[in-house]
Amino acid sequence: MRQLGDAAVWHRYSLAQRILHWLVALLVLAALALGGLIGWYGFEGLQDRFGDATTNALYTWHKSFGVLILLLMLLRIGLRLRHGRPSYAVPLPPVQRIAAESVHGLLYLLLLVMPVIGWWATAAGGYPVQLGPMILPGLFPENEALSDTLFVWHQWLGRTLLLLALGHIAAALYHWRIRRDGVMQRMTFGS
Protein backbone atom coordinates (compact mmCIF):
# COMPACT_ATOMS: atom_id res chain seq x y z
CA MET A 1 0.00 0.00 0.00
CA ARG A 2 1.24 3.49 -0.83
CA GLN A 3 0.25 6.57 1.13
CA LEU A 4 -0.98 9.55 -0.89
CA GLY A 5 -1.78 12.28 1.60
CA ASP A 6 -4.43 10.75 3.83
CA ALA A 7 -5.59 8.21 1.24
CA ALA A 8 -4.22 4.67 1.01
CA VAL A 9 -3.95 3.33 -2.55
CA TRP A 10 -3.77 -0.41 -3.23
CA HIS A 11 -2.10 -1.47 -6.44
CA ARG A 12 -4.57 -4.05 -7.75
CA TYR A 13 -5.48 -5.97 -10.83
CA SER A 14 -8.93 -5.21 -12.24
CA LEU A 15 -11.85 -7.05 -10.64
CA ALA A 16 -12.26 -9.21 -13.75
CA GLN A 17 -8.56 -10.14 -13.66
CA ARG A 18 -8.77 -11.08 -9.98
CA ILE A 19 -11.90 -13.19 -10.49
CA LEU A 20 -10.30 -15.01 -13.42
CA HIS A 21 -7.08 -15.58 -11.46
CA TRP A 22 -8.90 -17.34 -8.63
CA LEU A 23 -11.24 -19.25 -10.93
CA VAL A 24 -8.30 -20.54 -12.98
CA ALA A 25 -6.42 -21.38 -9.76
CA LEU A 26 -9.33 -23.52 -8.53
CA LEU A 27 -9.71 -25.24 -11.90
CA VAL A 28 -5.96 -25.92 -12.09
CA LEU A 29 -5.92 -27.46 -8.61
CA ALA A 30 -8.92 -29.64 -9.51
CA ALA A 31 -7.44 -30.63 -12.89
CA LEU A 32 -4.08 -31.47 -11.29
CA ALA A 33 -5.78 -33.55 -8.59
CA LEU A 34 -7.82 -35.46 -11.16
CA GLY A 35 -4.81 -35.81 -13.45
CA GLY A 36 -2.79 -37.19 -10.55
CA LEU A 37 -5.53 -39.69 -9.77
CA ILE A 38 -5.77 -40.71 -13.43
CA GLY A 39 -1.99 -40.99 -13.71
CA TRP A 40 -1.67 -42.97 -10.49
CA TYR A 41 -4.37 -45.56 -11.19
CA GLY A 42 -4.65 -45.51 -14.99
CA PHE A 43 -7.94 -46.19 -16.75
CA GLU A 44 -8.20 -49.85 -15.79
CA GLY A 45 -7.15 -49.17 -12.19
CA LEU A 46 -9.82 -46.50 -11.85
CA GLN A 47 -12.42 -48.85 -13.32
CA ASP A 48 -11.47 -51.60 -10.88
CA ARG A 49 -11.48 -49.23 -7.92
CA PHE A 50 -14.41 -46.92 -8.72
CA GLY A 51 -16.41 -48.53 -11.53
CA ASP A 52 -17.18 -47.42 -15.08
CA ALA A 53 -19.49 -44.50 -14.33
CA THR A 54 -17.12 -42.81 -11.86
CA THR A 55 -14.10 -43.44 -14.09
CA ASN A 56 -15.84 -41.87 -17.07
CA ALA A 57 -16.93 -38.94 -14.91
CA LEU A 58 -13.37 -38.37 -13.67
CA TYR A 59 -12.05 -38.27 -17.24
CA THR A 60 -14.89 -35.99 -18.36
CA TRP A 61 -14.27 -33.57 -15.50
CA HIS A 62 -10.51 -33.55 -16.15
CA LYS A 63 -11.00 -32.82 -19.85
CA SER A 64 -13.69 -30.23 -19.13
CA PHE A 65 -11.48 -28.42 -16.62
CA GLY A 66 -8.67 -28.38 -19.19
CA VAL A 67 -10.90 -26.84 -21.87
CA LEU A 68 -12.21 -24.27 -19.38
CA ILE A 69 -8.66 -23.39 -18.30
CA LEU A 70 -7.69 -22.83 -21.94
CA LEU A 71 -10.70 -20.58 -22.58
CA LEU A 72 -10.24 -18.62 -19.36
CA MET A 73 -6.51 -18.18 -19.98
CA LEU A 74 -7.24 -16.71 -23.41
CA LEU A 75 -9.63 -14.31 -21.71
CA ARG A 76 -7.00 -13.52 -19.05
CA ILE A 77 -4.45 -12.69 -21.72
CA GLY A 78 -6.96 -10.40 -23.43
CA LEU A 79 -7.66 -8.61 -20.14
CA ARG A 80 -3.95 -8.38 -19.38
CA LEU A 81 -3.33 -6.75 -22.75
CA ARG A 82 -6.22 -4.35 -22.16
CA HIS A 83 -5.64 -3.46 -18.50
CA GLY A 84 -1.97 -4.29 -18.01
CA ARG A 85 -0.74 -5.12 -14.56
CA PRO A 86 -0.49 -2.87 -11.54
CA SER A 87 2.82 -1.58 -10.30
CA TYR A 88 4.12 -2.90 -7.01
CA ALA A 89 3.36 -0.78 -3.95
CA VAL A 90 6.89 -1.53 -2.78
CA PRO A 91 9.32 -2.25 -5.65
CA LEU A 92 10.65 -5.79 -5.64
CA PRO A 93 14.38 -6.46 -5.47
CA PRO A 94 15.67 -7.31 -8.99
CA VAL A 95 16.10 -11.04 -8.25
CA GLN A 96 12.53 -11.34 -6.94
CA ARG A 97 11.14 -9.32 -9.87
CA ILE A 98 12.94 -11.54 -12.41
CA ALA A 99 11.82 -14.70 -10.57
CA ALA A 100 8.21 -13.47 -10.39
CA GLU A 101 8.11 -12.53 -14.07
CA SER A 102 9.71 -15.84 -15.08
CA VAL A 103 7.31 -17.95 -13.01
CA HIS A 104 4.28 -15.97 -14.20
CA GLY A 105 5.41 -16.31 -17.81
CA LEU A 106 5.93 -20.06 -17.45
CA LEU A 107 2.57 -20.48 -15.70
CA TYR A 108 0.79 -18.63 -18.50
CA LEU A 109 2.64 -20.69 -21.13
CA LEU A 110 1.87 -24.01 -19.44
CA LEU A 111 -1.77 -23.09 -18.86
CA LEU A 112 -2.10 -22.58 -22.61
CA VAL A 113 0.09 -25.43 -23.86
CA MET A 114 -1.09 -28.16 -21.47
CA PRO A 115 -4.78 -28.05 -22.48
CA VAL A 116 -3.83 -27.96 -26.17
CA ILE A 117 -1.54 -30.98 -25.75
CA GLY A 118 -4.26 -32.75 -23.74
CA TRP A 119 -6.80 -31.98 -26.47
CA TRP A 120 -4.39 -33.17 -29.16
CA ALA A 121 -3.48 -36.35 -27.25
CA THR A 122 -7.14 -37.14 -26.60
CA ALA A 123 -8.18 -36.60 -30.22
CA ALA A 124 -5.14 -38.49 -31.57
CA GLY A 125 -6.10 -41.42 -29.30
CA GLY A 126 -9.61 -41.47 -30.76
CA TYR A 127 -11.22 -40.36 -27.50
CA PRO A 128 -13.86 -37.65 -27.19
CA VAL A 129 -12.77 -34.14 -26.24
CA GLN A 130 -15.40 -32.95 -23.80
CA LEU A 131 -16.69 -29.85 -22.12
CA GLY A 132 -19.24 -31.31 -19.74
CA PRO A 133 -21.79 -33.19 -21.85
CA MET A 134 -20.67 -31.48 -25.08
CA ILE A 135 -18.36 -33.34 -27.43
CA LEU A 136 -15.96 -30.86 -29.03
CA PRO A 137 -14.28 -31.28 -32.40
CA GLY A 138 -11.15 -33.42 -32.22
CA LEU A 139 -9.22 -30.98 -34.46
CA PHE A 140 -6.43 -33.53 -34.87
CA PRO A 141 -6.30 -36.82 -36.81
CA GLU A 142 -6.08 -40.13 -34.97
CA ASN A 143 -2.56 -41.42 -34.41
CA GLU A 144 -2.14 -43.79 -31.47
CA ALA A 145 1.67 -43.52 -31.25
CA LEU A 146 1.46 -39.73 -31.27
CA SER A 147 -1.30 -39.85 -28.65
CA ASP A 148 0.89 -41.95 -26.32
CA THR A 149 3.80 -39.52 -26.72
CA LEU A 150 1.59 -36.48 -26.14
CA PHE A 151 0.06 -37.99 -23.00
CA VAL A 152 3.59 -38.50 -21.61
CA TRP A 153 4.34 -34.83 -22.35
CA HIS A 154 1.03 -33.83 -20.78
CA GLN A 155 1.97 -35.70 -17.58
CA TRP A 156 5.44 -34.14 -17.38
CA LEU A 157 4.07 -30.67 -18.02
CA GLY A 158 1.50 -31.32 -15.29
CA ARG A 159 4.27 -32.13 -12.83
CA THR A 160 6.13 -28.99 -13.89
CA LEU A 161 2.96 -26.94 -13.50
CA LEU A 162 2.45 -28.35 -10.00
CA LEU A 163 5.98 -27.33 -8.98
CA LEU A 164 5.57 -23.84 -10.43
CA ALA A 165 2.18 -23.43 -8.76
CA LEU A 166 3.62 -24.49 -5.40
CA GLY A 167 6.45 -21.98 -5.84
CA HIS A 168 3.93 -19.28 -6.79
CA ILE A 169 1.83 -20.04 -3.69
CA ALA A 170 4.90 -20.06 -1.45
CA ALA A 171 6.02 -16.69 -2.83
CA ALA A 172 2.54 -15.23 -2.35
CA LEU A 173 2.49 -16.42 1.28
CA TYR A 174 5.99 -15.00 1.82
CA HIS A 175 4.92 -11.59 0.54
CA TRP A 176 1.63 -11.68 2.47
CA ARG A 177 2.78 -13.01 5.86
CA ILE A 178 6.49 -12.15 6.06
CA ARG A 179 7.31 -9.14 3.86
CA ARG A 180 3.82 -7.61 4.13
CA ASP A 181 4.64 -5.51 1.09
CA GLY A 182 1.25 -5.40 -0.64
CA VAL A 183 2.09 -7.96 -3.34
CA MET A 184 -0.67 -10.35 -2.23
CA GLN A 185 -3.23 -7.55 -2.13
CA ARG A 186 -2.83 -7.07 -5.89
CA MET A 187 -4.89 -10.25 -6.36
CA THR A 188 -7.21 -10.23 -3.31
CA PHE A 189 -10.76 -8.93 -2.86
CA GLY A 190 -10.60 -7.49 0.67
CA SER A 191 -9.55 -4.02 1.69
Tens of pLDDT, residues 30-61: 999 999 999 999 999 999 999 999 999 999 99
Q: What is the mean pLDDT of residues 146-167?
A: 97
Higher per-residue pLDDT: 1 or 154: 154
d(CA 55, CA 159): 22
d(CA 93, CA 43): 47
89 confidence band (pLDDT: 50, 70, 90): confident
Buried b (16+ CB within 10 A) or exposed e, 49-76: eeeeeebeebbbebbbbbbbbbebbeeb
Please state which CATH class domain 2-187 belongs to.
Answer: mainly alpha
> Strand, helix or coil at 90?
coil
> Strand, helix or coil at 12?
coil
- What is the pTM assigned to this prediction? 0.91
Element (H, E) at 8: strand 7-9
Asked if 27 and 69 count as a contact pair (C-beta separation under 8 A), the reply is yes
Asked if 129 and 63 count as a contact pair (C-beta separation under 8 A), the reply is yes
d(CA 115, CA 74): 12
Nearest to 133 by CA among 25, 55, 56: 56
DSSP 112-181: HHHHHHHHHHHHHTTPPEEETTEEEP--S---HHHHHHHHHHHHHHHHHHHHHHHHHHHHHHIIIIII-S
Does residue 2 have a pLDDT over 80? no
d(CA 44, CA 82): 46
